[in-house]
Structure 1
Amino acid sequence: MRSSHGGGVTDSHVILDQPGAEKLIGKGDGLFRPSWANGPIRVQSAFVTEDEVAAVVAHCKAELAAWYGAIDDSLVDLLGRATELIVVTQWGSTSMIQRKHGVGLAEAGRLMDLLQGYGIVGPSKGAETRDVLLQPTQLETAIARVRGAGL
């Protein structure tokens, strides 16, 4: 919000309808006007360049691709069966996967995390069941997507 041409007060009036930006120092210094406040509040945050943001996004994409790629062929079939169970019953439960597919807690938990990554179940809510994000009419597409994970 700081003006490089010396018009800080004018810029503040245009953006905030009051002065204030002329006192900012830049590089992460800014004004925030929450709805509950009478006026703007000075905030300080980290200054992040566009190149730094792009580097973080590229790193996250690479990590995510490696995580999905870690699914071996023996897990793909189990993942497909777990998808079918959860979408048909509309019940996102790790313990149900354990009981119905005869797997341990760690493997059932990993399956649920993978199903979350594929957008089939929502995030963990502690001891509660996870939200199932797909309807049974979407089952065929979901199974095709998770079975393609081992390719």
Structure 2
Amino acid sequence: LAQKGRAAGLHVILATQRPSVDVINGLIKSNFPMRIAFRVASRVDSTTIIDSPGAEKLIGKGDMLFSAGIESERIQCGYVSGDEIDSINRFICEQQGYGRCYNTPYYLPDVSEAGGESGGAGNLDTKNLDERFAEAARMVVSTQKGSTSDLQRKLGMGYAKAGRVMDQLEAAGIVGPQEGSKPRQVLIASLEDLEPILESVMKS
């Protein structure tokens, strides 16, 4: 990857906590001419990383040696202590959450213009909706899981009926298309967002 990366313009960053010759071998070193070393335990470890001693004398906390293949340069990188990380995490946890989730915008079909001979996916026949369509829609949105087997198990539907209802939910823009054996993606975030869609479907 490193060999081809240079030709393709890729930047590869490789890190290890174990600076031994069986990990950082000659092939790796020849393809990574620019290297940095933080404080290490011994002179041997420093030589393994940057081909020269010195990293064993660093003071830590972001202190490091940079080698571009000629000579090493001592520089200071950004350092965040464990206490600072904990403080940031606490600050984030204390923020007020959103009242609802914000999903990627998705085009919902105009059910007033939808129609046809059958109620298959992509063609919602509002005149022949299953009598348990609304119940199934609410269950799918509340659980955020578009699963035909859930309709069978929780609503007591047969296999054919559950599949037909799921196709109607897809045509109404409530769930996404089928992706193999995985549950369908639920496109409506909450029951609050679902009700206007159900109202529009039932009126059409």
TM-score (norm 1): 0.50
Give matches, 1:67-106, under 5 Å. 67=118, 68-69=124-125, 71-72=127-128, 75=130, 77-106=131-160
1:146 aligned partner: 201
Residues 102, 146 of structure 1: alpha-carbon distance in 2 compared, 3 angstrom cutoff: farther
Query: Does residue 66 in structure 1 map to residue 117 in structure 2?
Result: yes
**1:113 Cα deviation after fit:** 0.6
* Conserved 8 A contact 2:115-2:126: no
Gaps of 5+ in 1: 1-61
Compute the RMSD of aligned alpha carbons: 2.3
What SS does structure 2 have at the residue aligned with 1:65? coil
Query: Does residue 118 in structure 1 map to residue 169 in structure 2?
Result: no
What SS does structure 1 have at the residue aligned with 2:116? helix
Alignment partners' CA distance in 1, 2:172 and 2:125 = 13
Gaps of 5+ in 2: 1-112, 119-123
Residues 139, 63 of structure 1: alpha-carbon distance in 2 compared, 3 angstrom cutoff: closer
Residues 109, 138 of structure 1: alpha-carbon distance in 2 compared, 3 angstrom cutoff: same
**1:99 Cα deviation after fit:** 1.0
**1:96 Cα deviation after fit:** 0.5
State the 4+ residue runs in structure 1 displaced beyond 6 angstroms.
none
Structure with bigger RCO (C-alpha 8 Å, 6+ apart): 1
Alignment partners' CA distance in 1, 2:162 and 2:127 = 14
* Conserved 8 A contact 1:83-1:142: no
Aligned residues: 86
More helix by share: 1
The sequence identity of aligned pairs, in percent, is 37
